[in-house]
Structure formats: C-alpha cells, structure tokens
C-alpha cells in the first residue's frame, strides 16, 4: 500500500520516533508499505515519521527497487562510528523540489535491528553513508534543512513559503 508522505512543517517530522519493541506483522507491513511508497516516489530512502508513524524505522534502497540485496531495513538504528567529511547535494521526500548541499561524515558504521529484531552492523561511505545519516536524523526529529548553512536554510524556507502561497506545496 502506498502511504501518504507528510511534508515540512508537519509536526511529526520534528518529533523523535519511539523505539520499536515489538517485531510483529504490523511492523513488517509498515516496512513493506514504506518500500512501496519510496519506489512510487522515486526516492532512495524513507523514515517512518515521513508517513506519519513516529517510530524508529527507516528503509533505504539505493537501487530504487532494482537490486533486492540493496534493500536495507533499519529498526532502532544508531551511528556507532563516524569519520571524515563530505559535502554533497541531498533531497528529501518531505521537501519536494528542494535540493541542497549538506555537510555529513564521510564514513559511518551503524548498528540496527532488522524487521525480525536481529541486530547487525553495517559500514558505509559516499552516498550510502549520507543516506544513512539523513534517515537516522529523521528518527531524531532532525531535518536536512537544519543541517544547511543559515543562508541556504533561509533561502529554502522562503522558497517553501512561496510554493505554499501558490498552492504548490
């Protein structure tokens, strides 16, 4: 089922997600729906708060549905190690048409549970590293617009207000 993606400044996007304690059919349905929603939106990642569920769940697939082995489900994820810096363009499905360079760690190692509750670790660099940091930020109520410089943030907030006033947001 394709879920509705909420847009900034919907309150749920700024709230930290609740840790997941039950690894049941409801969770697996949420994960399946989140993948379907990501693909339908041509995205590479989606966090549960973006579909109105304030839970620490995110899905990532850099292949956009082409490589089953690229599907990543992260439940209760945390960054356990990071190093270096990268500064590349990002977008977010809750900010349609906004793309901006954001400073991130170059490499990360994360720890998370899969949809059955099993813990695993994963190391990543480049785009996957950026994507992991962006999605884990969502679970802490942190949005990429607040990782931009004040100048870029204000320009983009103005752009959003203009789109809102024109009924395009």
Give Cα 105 to chain centroid, integer Å. Answer: 16
Contact call for residue 51 and Ni ion (CB under 5 A): no
In the complex with Ni ion, the residue whose CB is nearer, 41 or 82, is 41
* Candidate list 90, 100, 115, 135, residue with the active-site label: 135
| Least distance from Ni ion to the Cβ atom of residue 94, Å | 6
22 is annotated as an active-site residue = no
Residue nearest to Ni ion (CB): 92
In the complex with Ni ion, the residue whose CB is nearer, 40 or 119, is 40
In the complex with Ni ion, the residue whose CB is nearer, 4 or 26, is 4
The residues pairing with 18 across neighbouring beta strands, listed in sequence order, are: 55
In the complex with Ni ion, the residue whose CB is nearer, 92 or 112, is 92
Contact call for residue 92 and Ni ion (CB under 5 A): yes
Contact call for residue 148 and Ni ion (CB under 5 A): no
| Least distance from Ni ion to the Cβ atom of residue 49, Å | 9
Q: Which residues are catalytic?
A: 135
Site residues for Ni ion per CB under 5 A: 92
């Amino acid at each position: 089922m394709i879920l509705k993606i909420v847009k900034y400044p919907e309150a749920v996007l700024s709230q930290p997600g609740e840790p997941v304690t039950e690894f049941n059919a409801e969770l697996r349905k949420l994960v399946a729906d989140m993948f379907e929603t990501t693909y339908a939106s041509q995205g590479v990642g989606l966090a549960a708060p973006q579909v109105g569920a304030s839970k620490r769940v995110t899905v990532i697939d850099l292949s956009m549905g082409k490589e089953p082995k690229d599907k990543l489900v992260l439940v209760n994820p945390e960054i356990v190690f990071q190093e270096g810096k990268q500064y590349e363009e990002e977008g977010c499905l809750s900010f349609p048409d906004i793309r901006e360079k954001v400073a991130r760690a170059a490499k990360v190692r994360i720890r998370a549970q899969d949809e059955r509750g099993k813990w695993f670790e994963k190391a990543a660099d480049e785009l996957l590293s950026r994507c992991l940091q962006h999605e884990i930020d969502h679970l802490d109520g942190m949005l990429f617009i607040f990782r931009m410089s004040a100048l870029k943030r204000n320009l983009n907030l103005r752009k959003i207000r203009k789109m809102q006033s024109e009924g395009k947001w």
